[in-house]
Chains A and B, each alone.
Chain A
Amino acid sequence: MIIALLYALVGVGLFGLGLYSLIIHAHLLRKILALNIMGSGVFMVLVALAGGEGNMLDPVPAAMVITGIVVAVSATALALALMLKISAITGRAELNDEEGK
């Protein structure tokens, strides 16, 4: 039970790290990496708290996390394609809000 709490706190830490990196980095690929790590953190919290007692894992959060992993890869693929398009058009793969583009 304490082990489940440990993993849940690791998940929270991953979420926080990802959120911090998402905000402060300007490069789009780093933002995509940060989003993936945030997602992994959330999944960890879901499954860690589903451990239950002994070997009866609650299957509903596990199914939701599998769905989440697949949705995360689709979103990552689309985000990478958008990043490539932005880089092809503007010449750089960053979002700088000082220039107002």
Chain B
Amino acid sequence: MEALSLLQWLIDILIGVGLLWLAWRVLFSPELFKAIVLFIAFGLLMALAWVRLQAPDVALAEAAIGAGLTGALLLSAWMKLREESTQQFEQKRKRQIFVWLLAIPLLLIIVGLGYAISLLTPYPTGLSTAVAENIDASGVSNPVTAVLLNFRVYDTLLEVAVLFLALLGVWSLEIRESAIGSEPEPVLDVLTRVLTPLLVLVAAYLLWVGAHAPGGAFQAGSVLGAAGVLLILAGWRLPHRLAGLPLRITLVAGLSTFIAVAVLMILGGGRLLEFPSSQASQIILILEATATLSIATILAALFLTSRPSHSEKT
């Protein structure tokens, strides 16, 4: 129907214009708090755009990590910044002339990039046919999961390593422990008690369903990490017994499982990270499960930024 496609056009144009307008408000708002909250809204609108572009896995990841966790990190950092410096947040820019002059080459860059991209369409089918031909040998039926955890699992190994390295970097900076969660809040307590088991259940579901529907290890890990963030906000901290070796084991579990599987594959006669197709689905499940646990712990630890104290004496 002509009216239906016109409506779809309208929705896409609204989402596109909305994204650009929100981005302009995020970047050029005088108040920093307003900018951060608008950034969370921007992330949610991006998730809607991913759904329109028929990429539900990306939509799940963007809503959980891009909007939710990044927003929480930004708000927490803004709060700590207000505690540290008593200076006003001035939107200090460079000299006005420079600001206006920069707009011209930047407009040229945008127009040039847009023109280059318009030259790319109509585009070939890309790799979707190649993936579809080999998907039976991959062990899962969701093509994005197959790419992430079989065909390009080397990228995923490095991605888990990058997360881990970011945590090492944040811990080595030794940020002072913040006052998040130190005041008792009964409503937040009850909310946390109700939501945490539900979030664990949703994470387990996303992990399991990622094999044949949109989902997967990163989405599950981020939901579980959100549960960790909620616990931190409610004032729960890791008990001292668990903050030493058990915490470190949980943090490296994902990366070390990836490396162990890689080494085992090489020792078994194949190439790096080449899974035999008979055991591929089990290997992928093990990799995803440990990766989920590690990703969740790393994300919650990144939110806390200060390393939990693990010595016996307080």
Which residues of chain A have a CB within 8 Å of any CB of chain B? 1, 3-10, 12-21, 23-27, 29-30, 32-34, 36-37, 40, 43-45, 47-53, 55-67, 69-78, 80-85, 87-88, 91-94, 96
Output the residue of A17, A29, A44, A80 with the most chain B CB within 10 A. A80
Question: Is A49 a contact of B144 with CB atoms below 8 Å?
Answer: no
Interface hits, B9-41 → A, CB 8 Å? 9, 12-13, 16, 19-20, 23-24, 26-28, 32, 35-36, 39
Apart from A27-B32, A84-B175, what 7 extra A-B contacts exist at CB < 8 Å?
A3-B9, A7-B52, A50-B55, A59-B146, A70-B61, A71-B159, A87-B81
Q: List 16 A-B contacts (CB under 8 A).
A: A5-B117, A7-B49, A12-B114, A17-B20, A17-B27, A19-B109, A20-B102, A26-B93, A29-B74, A43-B58, A59-B128, A60-B131, A60-B151, A73-B69, A74-B162, A74-B165
Closest to B77 in A: A80
Question: Is A24 a contact of B73 with CB atoms below 8 Å?
Answer: no
Is B218 in the interface zone, CB < 8 Å from A? Answer: yes
Bound together, the chains give a CA A25 to CA B53 distance in angstroms of: 32
Question: Is B42 a contact of A70 with CB atoms below 8 Å?
Answer: no
Question: Is A81 a contact of B170 with CB atoms below 8 Å?
Answer: yes
Bound together, the chains give a CA A75 to CA B167 distance in angstroms of: 10
Encode contact with A along B146-174: 1 for CB under 8 Å, 0 otherwise.
11100110011001001101110110010
Question: Is A47 a contact of B85 with CB atoms below 8 Å?
Answer: no
Interface hits, B194-212 → A, CB 8 Å? none
Bound together, the chains give a CA A3 to CA B49 distance in angstroms of: 11
CB distance from B179 to the nearest CB of A (A): 14
CB distance from A6 to the nearest CB of B (A): 6
3 closest A-B pairs by beta carbon, nearest first, are A74-B166, A16-B110, A21-B27
User: A16-B106, A49-B120, A81-B305 given as contacts; is B65 within 8 A of A60 (CB)?
Assistant: no
| Other-chain residue from B27, B54, B73, B159 in contact with A76 (beta carbon distance below 8 A) | B73
Closest to A15 in B: B113
User: A7-B49, A24-B99, A74-B302 given as contacts; is B80 within 8 A of A84 (CB)?
Assistant: yes
Is B313 in the interface zone, CB < 8 Å from A? Answer: no
Bound together, the chains give a CA A94 to CA B23 distance in angstroms of: 21
User: A5-B121, A7-B53 given as contacts; is B91 within 8 A of A77 (CB)?
Assistant: no
Question: Is A78 a contact of B27 with CB atoms below 8 Å?
Answer: no
CB distance from B171 to the nearest CB of A (A): 9
| Other-chain residue from A7, A19, A64 in contact with B106 (beta carbon distance below 8 A) | A19
Bound together, the chains give a CA A62 to CA B142 distance in angstroms of: 12
Question: Is A62 a contact of B57 with CB atoms below 8 Å?
Answer: yes
Question: Is A6 a contact of B70 with CB atoms below 8 Å?
Answer: no
